[in-house]
């Protein structure tokens, strides 16, 4: 122990509480959020619903049983809280009367539950996203299954073959081939509990939201096949089931509901592909039709859809855009700062502090309820005054962190190799640091590459520090939130030069041993790890996570080529081009002298499992003299280190720390 505090332990992962999906009553006087935590027995994550007293600032669970509750929404008068709960089996809509007294009532009773919902402005109705199996017939949607009936239904479905007819037929988020469900739209009366279906058709429907007058529902509808299968179109339904598709073939950010600005127009996030660009932008579409209109949004920000990575967060964060008064509030980023911005009259202004990461938010009555993390603490709930910027911490989760040593963290900016920009990042000293000693260091590289490291806390960094290693991480070229010009250079060697320059600057601080350097990263970071050890022998150990070594064969085996390449040139053409290019790191296998650990999930369909297999076999075949280890994690997907089973996360991190401990510290990990 140092200064009376202990080092971070691997088992602390089981103690982490993850706040998400904040909700604020219209008068700003009541708050709620979802708190996720791993079950010690199984490692599965369970959501609990918490309430916040805005007067005292105290927060606490609203229920004491083990049911999963999530997606809180307040009624217009703020007295009733609506949410999803699996208390009676499948997730269904419940209401908590008077909010404080704990009396809850189930409102919906559908065969396969409810996936997502929103409320009408008058508080009379809820728009439902309902998973259905069309072959069961429309009438079956209103016939709930008992526990035994559901087990029999799942067993029968598991025996049936899955017919594949589409070129895009498997996705990482569904752990491979989807289960055959098709999400339909429904309207639930909050007074009577009666549900009526608006749709019964093949296209998927996601994120239904009422117009201000409650007469229409907008959603993302997925009418396309082929390469456009994952492209949602903004579609508006009347309550008699008639619909109008407002967009056609846009590159939309359909992971967030469209926002009604009034009864006649909607705003949503998408990509502006004019002049060969692929930049995120806001669009406005009128319900009477016409071409989507890009909204001007001057300001120093990247968004919507900014991809923060390498930070401690879990669960659905809530909507990333919201109408507030006469403006649009949205989540965006600038130079690693993840915040909430207000877009009004073509000007975007950040409303939240610098040097933090806003993971989710809700606004009402001049207040912003935000899930806010920082590089020194896991996220908590904060209340921010939208006029003054004053903030107050409302929740105090993860109190166990008070007893853990947090080594010194230094933020740095380093000139890039071309001298035209600066590389932003951090250096974390090892736990138990002693002045004058030399320590091993690990360079940690983010995925994407269209992502960035935010001002937030990441267990992986602090655990490697607790094992006696300095940790270095930065945003090289290819990262977002640093301007459009900076987003180029991820694949052509520019990012490699950035990473080496930043590592050199960190080593110049004097306490990093240049002979005991490690490198790791996942997805694109795994690609760069392979690239680095194929171009230099300066690293004593490497850990390639979610390995990507052959971009030619990755297309057609997972979903990455389908999503990112297929719509533009086709998988086969991409394969031919990438076989000739420099983008497959397996081409440099004969140069590798660095001991290599490969960590991969068996159900990863973003960087397919075969990528890890190829790298391992190639190393064994071509470099039998170089130590190599391949650790596979059954049943997990590409999000293993973010959303995977807690014990799988612990095993993954233990493998990594053990490898670096062995080759950088000449010790065996306990």
What percent of the chain shows pLDDT beyond 90? 76
459: pLDDT strictly greater than 70: yes
Residue 568: predicted pLDDT: 45
Cα torsion 258, 262, 265, 270: sign: negative
486 pLDDT band, cuts 50/70/90, is very high
The two tokens of residue 530 are 């392979």
Question: Is the distance from CB of 210 to CB of 125 less than 8 angstroms?
Answer: yes
565: pLDDT strictly greater than 70: no
Residue 102: predicted pLDDT: 64
Please tell me the least confidently modeled range out of 145-159, 526-540, 555-569, 628-642: 555-569
Measure CA of the first residue to CA of the last residue in the chain; give whole Å: 18
- Mean of pLDDT values over 499-525: 97
Cα–Cα separations (whole angstroms), residue 300 to 276, 335, 336, 484, 525: 22, 9, 12, 11, 26
Question: Is the distance from CB of 214 to CB of 124 less than 8 angstroms?
Answer: yes
559 pLDDT band, cuts 50/70/90, is confident
Residue 409: predicted pLDDT: 98
- Mean of pLDDT values over 375-391: 95
Query: What domains sit in the chain, N to C, each tagged with a CATH number?
Result: 107-295 (2.40.128), 411-549+584-664 (3.40.50.1820)
Count Cβ neighbours within 10 Å for each residue of 134-145 and write b for 16 or more, e otherwise.
Answer: eeeeeeebeebb
Distance CA 453, CA 480 (A): 9
Cα–Cα separations (whole angstroms), residue 644 to 121, 526, 599, 635: 36, 18, 14, 9
395 pLDDT band, cuts 50/70/90, is very high
Please tell me the least confidently modeled range out of 141-155, 287-301, 594-608: 287-301
3 pLDDT band, cuts 50/70/90, is confident
567: pLDDT strictly greater than 60: no
Residue 669: predicted pLDDT: 54
Residue 183: predicted pLDDT: 97
Using alpha carbons only, how large is the chain's radius of gyration in Å? Answer: 25
Residue 566: predicted pLDDT: 45
Residue 518: predicted pLDDT: 98
Beta bridge partner(s), residue 243: 237
Considering only residues 255 and 139, tell me which one the structure prediction assigns the higher pLDDT. 139
What percent of the chain shows pLDDT beyond 70? 94
List the one residue out of 474, 417, 411 whose CA is nearest residue 443.
Answer: 474
Please tell me the least confidently modeled range out of 21-35, 87-101, 355-369, 404-418: 87-101
Residue 101: predicted pLDDT: 60
110: pLDDT strictly greater than 90: yes
399 pLDDT band, cuts 50/70/90, is very high
581 pLDDT band, cuts 50/70/90, is low
Q: Which residues contact 58 (CB under 8 A, 6 or more apart)?
A: 52, 394
Count Cβ neighbours within 10 Å for each residue of 426-458 and write b for 16 or more, e otherwise.
Answer: bbbbbbebeeeeebbbbbbbbbbbbbbbbbbbb
Question: Is the distance from CB of 427 to CB of 409 less than 8 angstroms?
Answer: yes
Residue 226: predicted pLDDT: 82
Question: Is the distance from CB of 623 to CB of 534 less than 8 angstroms?
Answer: no
Backbone angles phi, psi at 309, to 5 degrees: -140, 160
Query: Per-residue pLDDT tens for 168-214?
Result: 888 899 898 899 999 999 999 999 999 999 999 999 999 999 999 99
Q: Which residues contact 497 (CB under 8 A, 6 or more apart)?
A: 416, 417
- DSSP string across 248-294: SS--B-TTS--EEEETTEEEEEEEE-GGG--EEEEEEEETT----EE
Distance CA 186, CA 200 (A): 10
Distance CA 77, CA 453 (A): 39
570: pLDDT strictly greater than 80: no
- Across all residues in the chain, what is the average pLDDT? 91
605 pLDDT band, cuts 50/70/90, is very high
- Mean of pLDDT values over 362-366: 97
Residue 30: predicted pLDDT: 93
Question: Is the distance from CB of 348 to CB of 299 less than 8 angstroms?
Answer: yes
Question: Is the distance from CB of 452 to CB of 307 less than 8 angstroms?
Answer: yes
Considering only residues 562 and 589, tell me which one the structure prediction assigns the higher pLDDT. 589
Query: Per-residue pLDDT tens for 324-344?
Result: 999 999 999 999 999 999 999
Please tell me the least confidently modeled range out of 296-305, 351-360, 510-519: 296-305
């Amino acid at each position: 122990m140092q200064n009376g505090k202990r080092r971070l332990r691997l088992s602390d992962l089981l103690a982490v509480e993850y706040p998400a999906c904040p909700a604020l009553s219209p008068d700003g006087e009541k708050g709620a959020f979802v708190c996720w935590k791993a079950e010690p027995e199984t490692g599965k994550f369970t959501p609990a619903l918490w309430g916040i007293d805005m007067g005292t600032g105290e927060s606490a669970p609203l229920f004491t049983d083990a049911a999963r509750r999530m997606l809180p929404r307040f009624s217009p008068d703020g007295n009733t809280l609506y949410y999803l709960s699996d208390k009676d089996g499948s997730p269904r809509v419940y209401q908590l009367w008077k909010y404080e007294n704990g009396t809850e009532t189930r409102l919906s009773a559908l065969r396969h539950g409810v996936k997502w919902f929103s409320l009408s402005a008058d508080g009379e109705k809820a728009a439902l996203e309902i998973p259905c199996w069309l072959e069961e017939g429309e009438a079956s949607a209103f016939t709930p299954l008992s526990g035994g009936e559901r087990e029999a239904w799942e067993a029968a479905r598991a025996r049936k073959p899955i017919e594949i007819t589409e070129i895009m037929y498997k996705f990482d988020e569904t752990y491979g081939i989807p289960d055959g469900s098709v999400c339909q739209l429904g309207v639930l009366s909050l007074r009577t509990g009666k549900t009526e279906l608006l749709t019964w058709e093949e296209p998927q429907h996601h994120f239904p939201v009422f117009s201000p007058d409650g007469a229409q529902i907008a959603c993302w509808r997925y009418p396309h096949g082929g390469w456009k299968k994952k492209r949602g179109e903004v579609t508006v339904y009347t309550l008699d089931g008639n619909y109008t598709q407002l967009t056609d073939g846009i590159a939309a950010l359909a992971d967030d509901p469209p926002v009604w600005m009034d009864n006649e127009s909607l705003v949503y996030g998408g990509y502006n592909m004019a002049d060969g660009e692929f930049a995120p932008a806001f669009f406005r579409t009128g319900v009477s039709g016409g071409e989507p209109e890009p909204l001007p949004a001057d300001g120093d920000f990247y968004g919507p859809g900014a991809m923060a990575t390498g930070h401690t967060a879990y669960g659905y964060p809530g909507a990333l855009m919201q109408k507030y008064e006469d403006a649009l509030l949205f989540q965006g980023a600038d130079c690693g700062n993840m915040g909430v911005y207000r877009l009004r009259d073509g000007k975007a202004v950040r409303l939240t502090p610098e040097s933090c990461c806003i993971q989710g938010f809700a606004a009402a009555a001049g207040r912003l309820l935000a899930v806010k993390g920082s590089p020194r603490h896991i996220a908590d709930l904060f209340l921010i005054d939208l006029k003054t910027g004053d903030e107050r911490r409302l929740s105090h989760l993860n109190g166990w962190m008070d007893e853990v040593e947090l080594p010194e963290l230094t933020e740095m900016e380093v000139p890039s190799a071309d001298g035209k920009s600066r590389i932003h990042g951090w250096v974390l000293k090892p736990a138990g640091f002693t002045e004058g000693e030399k320590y091993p260091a690990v360079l940690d590289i983010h995925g994407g590459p269209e992502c960035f490291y935010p001002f937030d806390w990441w267990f992986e960094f602090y655990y490697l520090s607790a094992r006696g290693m300095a940790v270095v991480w930065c945003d090289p070229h290819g990262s977002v939130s640093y301007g459009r010009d900076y987003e180029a250079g991820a694949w052509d060697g520019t990012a490699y030069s950035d990473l080496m320059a930043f590592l050199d600057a960190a080593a110049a601080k004097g306490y990093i041993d240049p002979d005991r350097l490690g490198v790791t990263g996942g997805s694109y970071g795994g690609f760069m790890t392979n690239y680095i050890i194929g171009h230099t022998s300066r690293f004593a150990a490497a850990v390639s996570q979610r390995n990507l070594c052959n971009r030619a064969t990755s297309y057609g085996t997972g979903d990455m080529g389908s999503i990112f390449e297929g719509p533009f040139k086709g998988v086969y053409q991409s394969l031919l081009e990438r076989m000739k290019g420099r983008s497959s790191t397996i081409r440099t296998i004969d140069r590798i002298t660095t001991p290599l650990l490969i960590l991969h999930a068996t159900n990863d369909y973003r960087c397919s499992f075969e990528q890890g297999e190829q790298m391992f076999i190639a190393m064994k075949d071509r470099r039998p003299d170089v130590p190599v280890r391949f650790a596979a994690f059954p049943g997990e997907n590409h999000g293993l280190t973010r959303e995977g089973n807690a014990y799988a996360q612990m095993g993954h991190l233990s493998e990594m720390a053990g490898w670096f401990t062995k080759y950088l510290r000449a010790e065996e990990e306990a």
